[in-house]
A and B are shown apart, each in its own frame.
Chain A
Amino acid sequence: MNNTYSSTPASKIRSVSRRFSYAFIGVVTLILILFATAAIIIDSSRINAELEKRLDNALKLSYISLPAPLWNLDNDVVDDFIEALFLDESIVFAEVVWGNQVISKRVRQKFQQKDASYFRQSSQFIDKISNILYEGNKVGTIRLAMSRESVKKELIVTILGIIALTILIIIAIALTSLIITKKYISRPLLKLQESASLIAHGDLNTFIDKSSSDEIGLLAQHLDDMRESIKQLFSELSESKEKIEDYSRTLEQKVEVRTQALARSVEELKALGDVSQVVSSTLDLETVLANIARHAVQLSKTDAGTIYEFDEDAQVFVPRINHGVSEAFIEALHESGLRIGDKTVIGQAALNRAPDQVPDLVNVPDYPLSYVHQAGFRALLAVPLLRKDRLIGGLVVRRKTAGEFPAPVVDLIQTFAAQSVLAIHNARLFREVEEKSRQLEAADKHKSEFLANMSHELRTPLNAILGYTELILDNIYGDIPEKIQEVLERLEQNGRHLLGLINDVLDLSKIEAGQLTLSLSEYSLGELVQTVSASVEALASEKNLELRVNVPADLTIGKGDEQRIAQVLLNLLGNAIKFTEEGDVRVEVVVSNQTFLVSVSDTGLGLSEADQKRIFEEFQQVDGSSTRIKGGTGLGLAIAKRIVEMHGGRIWVESTLGKGSTFWFTLPVSVEHQKESR
């Protein structure tokens, strides 16, 4: 307990008993004063009345004593009588008058100079006049004045007495009340306060005096009850507190354990993440497996590890990666030639296709690999590496302290084994892919060589056929009959068609093999269009078709493969002439936005929508049957499309069946790099 409960400083305390005493004394004093005042008032009026009574008595005495002397004119007696009256100290003036004659007069020494009117007017005095009668005849008048002085003195004495008495009473009451309150209220309260303060300070065994049978005793009783209750509460509280502390201790331990487990998991996850990253980013099997072995050993808190690859041909486990063992040990592992079913952990793990462990080599005196124990290892754990039920290797960890490997560690090693499987599998896949791509490359080279050779081999006899035909047609071997000439012309036509086929197939194959490289150089599209148009001019005029060429005179110089572009244009123009029976064929070039836009329009057959879509595919011609008659291979547009695309351009057709077609293609004015086609 701290000072929060300490009592208020004494100076600030206003004692209950004192306050009670003050209040009590105050009230008593007030009452006493009231009583005293009342007493004084009553007394003073009583004294006044008495004074008047005395004066009346003196007058009555005069009635009795004076008539006769006055009647008798015995003045001496009157004087004596007045003399006698003056024995009363209070009487200050006496006068007996008969008509205007003063018979007797006496004034106290003190008031010698005063006359009757003075006494009559001053409140200090009471004065009375009375006629004195003798047998019914007025014989004189007596005037008496009495001083209140003496009465005043008496009154003061009385008041002083009352005050003194009152004070005495007050003091007595005050003392009594102080003593009583102190004894019966203050002191017990102080004691209770002390006890309460002690309780407040935590002393719950404080003695509380409950002997008193009054309210304070009751209060003490209640305080004691309260103390008991608090004491009980405290004991309950401390019990609960102990329980809570106990609980929190347990909780702390649990949290500690969990935290460790979590930290371990995090570590494992990090390691696995690391391993996965290496597995996915590196195809170098050695690096990957070394990484796996290192993490497996570190996380399983073992001392050494080996990853074996299973050699299916030799049926032995070949240690691929070792961690934490000597060169001699590795050598020994190689020489051991571990096999499936050996009484080693790896042999058993491979046999059962499940993890196998030796908790303590000391208990396995006949373990086949004696050098393992000699190297200081006591506990071994092996996990087979399985890829779709196929054994591809094993992962072994070794520890220098004996003891069973708990399930989490076995799980962990299995996870690493799975990663190893993945890595080995990846590496094998990669080797296969590499091998395949080497084969593919070789095949590709073969193909292009074959194509080159085939083209030459096909062309050589064709060359001879066409050559001879032409020589015969030119009559070099003498004149020939007209009928033969006709046949020879058909022979030549078919030969040229065959040649075209061979050339187109070769082109397309080269494009598909990625062997066709554009030779990019500066060219004039205007000149190119003129040249190509000139070469087909003859064909057009043969069919009575008009060939119109519309090229701006100031056409900018472009960069591209001139020969290939000429090939595209030749193909489009050739087709246009071929499929148009009447009307005209137009070539137009415009340039905008650094792009040439070339169009070849005809007034020929036109194309259906379906044909428009298929026309750029290989071996597609509007009418298959027309191929032979019209010439062409059905490859021309496919090749044209590839060539345009390789330049970064686009080719398309707009056509209405029966009204003709317009083929468009674009070419960037300046082609810096060959693009990929398809």
Chain B
Amino acid sequence: MSKLILVVEDQEDNRRILRDLLTNSGYEVIEAVNGLDGVSSAETYRPDLILMDIQLPGIDGYEATRQIKANPDLNKIPIIAVTSYALSGDDQKAFVAGCDDYVTKPFSPRELLAKIRDYLP
């Protein structure tokens, strides 16, 4: 049974790239377009991994991560933050919010895939 990955991303193109990349690699992908949507999708689908964009409309990625990690049923799900490059402290903020790892945008699909495989062997 293939693993389920939740992609929380407001950008259509980015969602599509991730979807194409991950689907092609054999993962099942569900998508959310904002923070609140991301939290409810996590509760509904209980994915095996979450790719969390940080800059999102409504509640941002940090807040969404905090809410998900606050849920005992969901706090085991690895969350990889997708942060903007060089905005100082973004990585730190991501870890503080509860993210397990992070990649900076723009990411190389190949590198991202490698990172995902670390969590979903």
Minimum distance in angstroms from B110 CB to a CB of chain A: 7
Minimum distance in angstroms from B84 CB to a CB of chain A: 5
Of the stretches A23-31, A95-103, A211-219, A499-507, the one at the interface is A499-507
Q: B88–A516 contact, CB under 8 A? A: yes
| Chain B residue contacts of A516, Cβ below 8 A | 88
Q: A474–B105 contact, CB under 8 A? A: no
Partner of B86, one of A462, A463, A468, A503: A503
Q: B109–A470 contact, CB under 8 A? A: yes
Which size class do A's interface residues fall under?
A: 20 to 34
Within 8 A of A (CB), among B65-121: 84-89, 105-110
* Residue of A whose beta carbon sits closest to that of B91: A563
Q: B24–A476 contact, CB under 8 A? A: yes
Minimum distance in angstroms from A495 CB to a CB of chain B: 8
| Chain A residue contacts of B85, Cβ below 8 A | 455, 459, 503, 506
Within 8 A of B (CB), among A432-452: 452
Partner of A467, one of B24, B84, B89, B106: B106
Q: Does A471 contact B (CB under 8 A)?
A: yes
Minimum distance in angstroms from B51 CB to a CB of chain A: 13
Minimum distance in angstroms from A544 CB to a CB of chain B: 25
Q: B106–A499 contact, CB under 8 A? A: yes
| Chain A residue contacts of B105, Cβ below 8 A | 459-460, 463
Minimum distance in angstroms from A180 CB to a CB of chain B: 137
| Chain A residue contacts of B13, Cβ below 8 A | 460-461, 463-464, 467-468
Q: B106–A476 contact, CB under 8 A? A: no
| Chain B residue contacts of A459, Cβ below 8 A | 84-85, 105-106
Q: Does B11 contact A (CB under 8 A)?
A: yes
Q: Does B30 contact A (CB under 8 A)?
A: no
A476 to B23, alpha carbons, bound, how many Å? 10
| Chain A residue contacts of B89, Cβ below 8 A | 519
Which size class do B's interface residues fall under?
A: 20 to 34
* Residue of A whose beta carbon sits closest to that of B17: A467
Partner of A464, one of B11, B88, B110: B11
* Residue of A whose beta carbon sits closest to that of B89: A519
| Chain B residue contacts of A515, Cβ below 8 A | 88
Partner of B14, one of A463, A470, A499: A463
| Chain B residue contacts of A474, Cβ below 8 A | 109-110
- Known contacts A455-B84, A456-B84, A459-B84, A466 near B106 by CB under 8 Å: yes
A42 to B17, alpha carbons, bound, how many Å? 185
Q: A476–B21 contact, CB under 8 A? A: yes
A506 to B17, alpha carbons, bound, how many Å? 26
Q: B21–A471 contact, CB under 8 A? A: yes
A338 to B87, alpha carbons, bound, how many Å? 59
| Chain A residue contacts of B106, Cβ below 8 A | 459, 462-463, 466-467, 499
* Residue of A whose beta carbon sits closest to that of B24: A476
* Residue of A whose beta carbon sits closest to that of B84: A456
Q: Does A229 contact B (CB under 8 A)?
A: no
A462 to B55, alpha carbons, bound, how many Å? 16
Q: A471–B109 contact, CB under 8 A? A: yes
A477 to B20, alpha carbons, bound, how many Å? 8
Q: B14–A464 contact, CB under 8 A? A: yes
Q: B17–A468 contact, CB under 8 A? A: yes
Partner of B20, one of A456, A466, A471: A471
A460 to B86, alpha carbons, bound, how many Å? 14
Q: Does A282 contact B (CB under 8 A)?
A: no
Most chain B CB within 10 A, of A452, A460, A515, A516, is at: A460
Q: B87–A452 contact, CB under 8 A? A: yes
Q: Does A336 contact B (CB under 8 A)?
A: no
Q: Does A517 contact B (CB under 8 A)?
A: yes
A477 to B105, alpha carbons, bound, how many Å? 22
User: Residues 1-41 of chain B: 1 if any A CB is under 8 Å from the residue's CB, otherwise 0?
Assistant: 00000000001011001001100100000000000000000
A452 to B11, alpha carbons, bound, how many Å? 18
| Chain B residue contacts of A477, Cβ below 8 A | 20
A506 to B86, alpha carbons, bound, how many Å? 8
| Chain B residue contacts of A519, Cβ below 8 A | 88-89
A530 to B107, alpha carbons, bound, how many Å? 23
| Chain A residue contacts of B24, Cβ below 8 A | 471, 476
| Chain A residue contacts of B108, Cβ below 8 A | 466, 470
Q: A476–B20 contact, CB under 8 A? A: yes
| Chain B residue contacts of A507, Cβ below 8 A | 86
Q: B88–A471 contact, CB under 8 A? A: no
A468 to B14, alpha carbons, bound, how many Å? 9
- Known contacts A460-B11, A467-B17, A517 near B88 by CB under 8 Å: yes
| Chain A residue contacts of B21, Cβ below 8 A | 467, 471, 476
A200 to B105, alpha carbons, bound, how many Å? 123
User: Residues 169-180 of chain A: 1 if any B CB is under 8 Å from the residue's CB, otherwise 0?
Assistant: 000000000000
Within 8 A of B (CB), among A458-498: 459-464, 466-468, 470-471, 474, 476-477
List 11 additional A-B contacts (Cβ < 8 Å) besides A459-B106, A463-B13, A519-B89.
Answer: A452-B84, A463-B14, A463-B17, A464-B13, A467-B14, A470-B108, A470-B110, A471-B21, A476-B20, A503-B86, A507-B86
Binding site for A on B (CB under 8 A): 11, 13-14, 17, 20-21, 24, 55, 84-89, 105-110
Q: Lowest 7 CB-CB distances: which A-B pairs, in order?
A: A464-B13, A463-B106, A467-B17, A476-B24, A470-B109, A463-B105, A466-B106
- Between A and B, 9 residue pairs with Cβ closer than 8 Å are A455-B84, A456-B84, A459-B105, A462-B106, A463-B107, A467-B13, A467-B14, A470-B109, A506-B86
